Amino acid sequence: MSLDKHVNELLGLLESLEPKEFNVVVMPDFFLDRLVTVDLDVSGFSKMLAEVVSRKGGAIDGIKQLEFRGGNTANTASALAKLGAKVHVIIQTGKNGMQMLEHYLKPLEVDLSHVKVKGKTSITTAIELKYNKKGKANVMLRDLGSLENFGPKDLTEEDFELLEKADYVCLFNWAGTRKHGTELAKAVFRHVKEKGEGKTYYDTADPSPNEKGIGKLVKEVFLSNIIDILSLNENEAVRYASIIGLEEKIGGKTLEEKARKSGEILSNQISSRIDLHTTAFSSTFKNGKEVHVPTFKVDVLRATGAGDAWNAGNIFADAHDFPDSLRLTFANAVAAYYISSPEAEHPTLEELQKFLKRKR
């Protein structure tokens, strides 16, 4: 089915939709993000830096920069809240981080009562570069702050009670929780499975900063039947499929082809539904079967945060039992709206419907 037909079907569904109240717990990261937009590819930027270094330093003017809310958890919380979900965040951050959370998320009525004010605020400098003509890629320079040491020991009795009552419990940024990420996932998801009623949702983000721990993560979390929905981008899908010993079966010439094959492999090896989101398409896999939907063509103003917006749309659509193809189209639309928004805004349902009408 063409994207136009998916859009028309989705608009029809949204026109009759009566949004329901549902509660989502998201954890554990918040970053102060500084976005540095460089209108060059990596080769051009490297040459520019080399010229400055050759004269022992100096300034490069005309570089667009923006400070805003960052971190997979905080970004997903914002996007979900704009869509109407009841969002609760469990985050550990410094005093400045708490002030920023209150600034960015309190107006959206996100529950901040489970935030732990302890240690140092996490900070990311994201450098966005041109990639593949019209595309963009980002390189993130991170100071993990207090996130690095966050683990099950930091969760209170009240936190675990919150997990039990939630419709969705979502964990992000495994590598950021450098020392205890796998233990955190095991503790949180097992508690939900044993005492809760909601679904567990996992997007590890890029695992490569904690390369040594990936095998343990796959063995003790992915293969333990505690994840309902595993959300991955193309690089993550290929990485995890190769970890479970099936690298030779991935095949494919392009990264997108390899990602789709990896999604199929993973869905045959683990119990989770695999939701794959890429710049060109999104797919969902269950028991080796795939539903595949192309993404929207928009002017890409940023790459950072696209996956977080996609996850929010995916969770909202899943909570309302959208058919797979329309769930993916909805998630793609939320991400497309965000990456093409001049103000880096997440859409409300009404704003998303207007966006879809312009795209059909």
The residue to which tokens 């398409």 are assigned: 281
Band (126; pLDDT cuts 50, 70, 90): confident
**Average pLDDT score over residue span 180-192:** 98
pLDDT value of residue 248: 60
- How far from the centroid of its chain's Cα atoms is residue 243's Cα? 21
Question: If we measure between CA atoms, which residue out of 194, 188, 162, 199 comes closest to residue 319?
Answer: 199
Domains of the chain with CATH codes: 3-34+70-124+145-359 (3.40.1190.20)
The pTM of the full predicted model, rounded to 2 decimals, is 0.90
Amino acid letter at 66? L
Separation of alpha carbons 350 and 219, rounded Å: 42
pLDDT over 90 percentage in the chain: 82
Phi, psi of 206 (to 5 degrees): -60, 115
pLDDT value of residue 245: 64
- When the pLDDT of each residue in the chain is averaged and rounded to a whole number, the result is 94
Q: Tell me: the pLDDT tens digits for 216-226? A: 999 999 999 99
**Average pLDDT score over residue span 92-107:** 95
Rounded to 10°, the helix 324-339/306-319 angle is 150
Sequence-distant (6+) residues with CB within 8 A of 138 are: 126, 127, 128, 129, 303, 304
Least confident of 12-26, 49-63, 83-97, 126-140: 126-140
Separation of alpha carbons 50 and 168, rounded Å: 48
Q: Tell me: the pLDDT tens digits for 67-85? A: 888 899 999 999 999 999 9
Q: Tell me: the pLDDT tens digits for 4-31? A: 999 999 999 999 999 999 999 999 999 9
- How far from the centroid of its chain's Cα atoms is residue 53's Cα? 35
Band (181; pLDDT cuts 50, 70, 90): very high
Token duo for residue 271? 């119990």
Distant-in-sequence contacts of 158-161, Cβ < 8 A, 24+ apart: 158/114, 159/90, 159/114, 160/191, 160/195
User: Contact at 8 Å (CB) between 169 and 163?
Assistant: yes
CB atoms inside a 10 Å sphere around CB 226: 21
Q: Is 121 exposed, middle or buried (0-12, 13-18, 19+ CB in 10 A)?
A: buried
User: Contact at 8 Å (CB) between 58 and 149?
Assistant: no
Output Rg (C-alpha) for the chain, integer angstroms.
Answer: 20
Sequence-distant (6+) residues with CB within 8 A of 12 are: none
* Torsion from C-alpha of 103, 67, 31, 352, nearest 10 degrees: 70
User: Contact at 8 Å (CB) between 126 and 36?
Assistant: yes
pLDDT over 70 percentage in the chain: 98
Band (117; pLDDT cuts 50, 70, 90): very high
Band (246; pLDDT cuts 50, 70, 90): low
Separation of alpha carbons 93 and 113, rounded Å: 13
Question: If we measure between CA atoms, which residue out of 308, 139, 166 comes closest to residue 231?
Answer: 308
Separation of alpha carbons 311 and 277, rounded Å: 9
Separation of alpha carbons 79 and 300, rounded Å: 18
DSSP, res 269: H
Separation of alpha carbons 35 and 18, rounded Å: 37
Q: Answer whether residue 247 shows pLDDT above 70.
A: no
